[in-house]
Amino acid sequence: MMKEIAARTARWGCVASFFILAGTGLGAADAPVTGEQFRLLQQQNELLQQQLHKQQELIDSLSHQVSEIQSVNVRRDQELSDLKTDKKPDGEAAPEIVRPLHIGKVDITAEGGLAFFHSESKGSTPNAEFRIDEAKVFLEAPVWKDVYFFTELNLATRESEDLNLRVGELYLDFENVSQLWDRERLLNFRIGRFYIPFGEEYQTRFAIDNPLISHSLSDIWGVDEGVEAYGALGRAQYVLAVQNGGNATSRDFNADKAVVGRVGYDPAKWLHLSVSGMRTGDLDAANDGLSELWFGNGWIRSIGSGNTTRFHANLAEGDVRVTLPHFVLRAAGGYIDYEDNDVAGSNHRDVYYYYVEGVKDITRKFYGAARFSQILAPGGFPIVGNGNMGAYFFGPALTTDYWRLSLGLGYHFSPNLLIKGEYSFNQGIELGGEKRTHENVFALEAAFRF
């Protein structure tokens, strides 16, 4: 558009010059050009050149402004197309843009799930419960240039039995720091409270993203305070975080920190691979009490005697995702090495876990899903599964083997409204050999976001 304006201006300038010269030529047929007429012609040409120069400066200025506006619009469109209301890093692209509510500079989105659970007699919900399974509000606002504030406010979560406002994530995001040396998106920083970037299941854990209602048995996730660096280079992605490690949100009772890292690679459009590693760091058994890392429907905790003052765990996991037309396969397998300083005896544990999940489109909106997951802990470990939290986490009972088979169906009225149902089979074996049965559960849920 600006080039066209410049061309038109030049053409009209030529036309004006032609008529000036033509007028002068017509006068020459009657009399020779005097010095005064020549000077007048020069002045007219100089004036025309000045006007053309000013017009060109105006065109350049307008072009620059239009370019800036286009850049802002492109960035905004990209942010909207990449937006997921859970705001998890490296998350899969949402099938439909969730356009936030704008209040001044603040963008607001929300999501949640309303559910019904009915377990067998030894399960976690034997009384057939209606529940607000999840209710979250997300706020995001620019702070300065490529620095953004983000927070997740939890009104209700499955892990909490009460309805209280609690902070989930809350951080400052320093995006695209690597542009300082002309490398786009290679290095970004995050500081505050954010998801522990271990494994990949936590990225599809929210009700609207999870094709089933239950999670895998391992279900590794957590939110902790710290700093994080993340970025991408070609087909590879990485994230590295240093976090407190303990369950307390405002204190850290041991100077040793949790260190977490994940590296992902996409060898093809349909294939994604990643490996993760983590050390919880030493945790204070009396004051920290629990790790911030959720595992087996509980936390990683000390299993030592009252003499134990410190405990820790080291973890490793591999993930794979295969995305084909009308079918998605996810799988992961990992290992936990637990240790403490109990002088009464050795409590070292080797814990192995894995899951395999498949989601198949039956029609454009209707799908079926299945997931099998298992935890193996030969020496016994606190594994709640779908059992009673008091008995299998806070109590002395340890489990050596537990498995879950989840079968479900779902229907997408839209990408922002999902109705799903599930039946999950849950069985295990305690350290003493006693079988864990009657923990199966039936569930229904309506998940939404806006």
The two structure tokens encoding residue 410: 């779902």
The two structure tokens encoding residue 362: 């039956």
Beta strand ranges found along 157-252 (DSSP E):
166-174, 188-195, 223-233, 236-243
Count the alpha carbons within 13 Å of 119 in the hemisphere toward its beta carbon.
Answer: 19
Q: How many CB atoms lie within 10 A of CB 117?
A: 24
In DSSP notation, 400-425 reads EEEEEEEEEEEEEEETTEEEEEEEEE
Residue 167 predicted with pLDDT over 90: yes
Instruction: Give the tens place of pLDDT for each residue, 83-140.
Output: 433 344 444 344 455 778 999 999 999 999 999 999 999 999 999 999 999 999 999 9
Instruction: Give the tens place of pLDDT for each residue, 256-307.
Output: 999 999 999 999 999 999 999 999 999 999 999 899 999 999 999 999 999 9
**What mean pLDDT is reported for the chain?**
86
Instruction: Give the tens place of pLDDT for each residue, 416-441.
Output: 999 999 999 999 999 999 999 999 99
For residues 323-334, give the mean pLDDT.
Answer: 98
The two structure tokens encoding residue 6: 């410049």
Q: Which of 2-6, 109-113, 254-258, 356-360 has the lowest mean pLDDT?
A: 2-6
Q: Do residues 422 and 442 touch, judged by C-beta distance below 8 A? A: yes
Q: Which of 371, 394, 391, 380 is nearest to 429 (CA)?
A: 380
pLDDT at res. 266 = 98
In DSSP notation, 304-328 reads S-TT--EEEEEEEEEEEEEEETTEE
Q: pTM above the 0.85 mark?
A: no
Give Cα 278 to chain centroid, integer Å.
19
Q: What is the DSSP letter of 201?
A: G
Angle at 320 between CA 362 and CA 314, to 5 degrees: 135
Residue 229 predicted with pLDDT over 80: yes
Confidence label for 160 from pLDDT (cuts 50, 70 and 90): confident
Instruction: Give the tens place of pLDDT for each residue, 266-278.
Output: 999 999 999 999 9
Residue 76 predicted with pLDDT over 80: no
Map 58-117 to HEC letters: HHHHHHHHHHHHHHHHHHHHHHHHHCCCCCCCCCCCCCCCCCCEEECCEEEEEEEEEEEE
Give, for 381, the enclosing helix (H) or strand (E): strand 366-381
pLDDT at res. 62 = 59
For residues 334-339, give the mean pLDDT.
Answer: 98
pLDDT at res. 59 = 65
For residues 167-195, give the mean pLDDT.
Answer: 96
pLDDT at res. 32 = 55
Confidence label for 30 from pLDDT (cuts 50, 70 and 90): very low
Q: Which of 124, 216, 127 is nearest to 436 (CA)?
A: 124
Q: Which of 358, 393, 390, 391 is nearest to 373 (CA)?
A: 358
For residues 361-371, give the mean pLDDT.
Answer: 98
Q: Which of 179, 286, 276, 292 is nearest to 226 (CA)?
A: 292
Q: Do residues 304 and 340 touch, judged by C-beta distance below 8 A? A: yes
